[in-house]
């Protein structure tokens, strides 16, 4: 196994474990134990330094491990979305848009929203036309019965 594969496996396991309720309970218990030990250590600078250093180190390392897992999850989701777009009637031009600049993505979003608004207006017009046609049909049937 390559180093990258080992790291990915390790990062995935750590990220999964870190999201488990037991991990939270362990962290909370550590803070409670630290706080409870304060009187024993006379709330010294060293006592305070222990929690500061410990939390800083854990936070620093967890950022990289969780980011690695997020990157892999994001890439997997993107590949799945690209495959769904490619295999469906959706427009293939959306495949790979994650590499666009922020401005290009904003422009694309605006175009999509404009197209969606136009489709909603068109749907509303069609619904109104259908309702009007049904009303005319009912009126015609009523006139025939009367007439």
Nearest to 87 by CA among 97, 95, 76, 99: 95
CA quadruple 50, 56, 61, 63: dihedral, nearest 10: 150
DSSP symbol at 54: H
In this structure, the number of other CB atoms found within 10 A of the CB of residue 105 comes to: 13
For residue 44, what pLDDT is reported? 94
Express each pLDDT in 82-130 by its tens digit. Answer: 888 878 777 777 778 878 888 888 888 888 888 888 888 888 888 888 9
At residue 68, the pLDDT reads 87
Q: What is the pLDDT of residue 21?
A: 94
How far apart (Å, rounded) are the C-alpha atoms in residues 26 and 95?
43
CA distance 136 to 1: 74
């Amino acid at each position: 196994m390559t180093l990258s594969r080992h790291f990915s496996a390790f990062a995935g396991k750590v990220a999964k474990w870190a999201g488990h309720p037991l991990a939270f309970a362990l962290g909370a218990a550590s803070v409670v134990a630290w706080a409870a030990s304060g009187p024993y250590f006379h709330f010294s600078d060293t006592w305070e330094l222990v929690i500061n250093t410990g939390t800083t180190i854990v936070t620093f390392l967890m950022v990289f491990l969780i980011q690695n897992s997020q990157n892999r999850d994001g890439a997997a989701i993107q590949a799945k979305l690209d495959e769904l777009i490619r295999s469906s009637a959706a427009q293939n031009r959306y495949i790979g848009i994650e590499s666009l600049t922020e401005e290009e993505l904003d422009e694309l979003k605006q175009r999509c929203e404009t197209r969606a608004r136009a489709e909603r207006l068109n749907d509303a017009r069609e619904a109104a036309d259908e309702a009007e046609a049904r009303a005319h049909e009912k009126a015609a049937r009523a006139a025939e019965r009367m007439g």
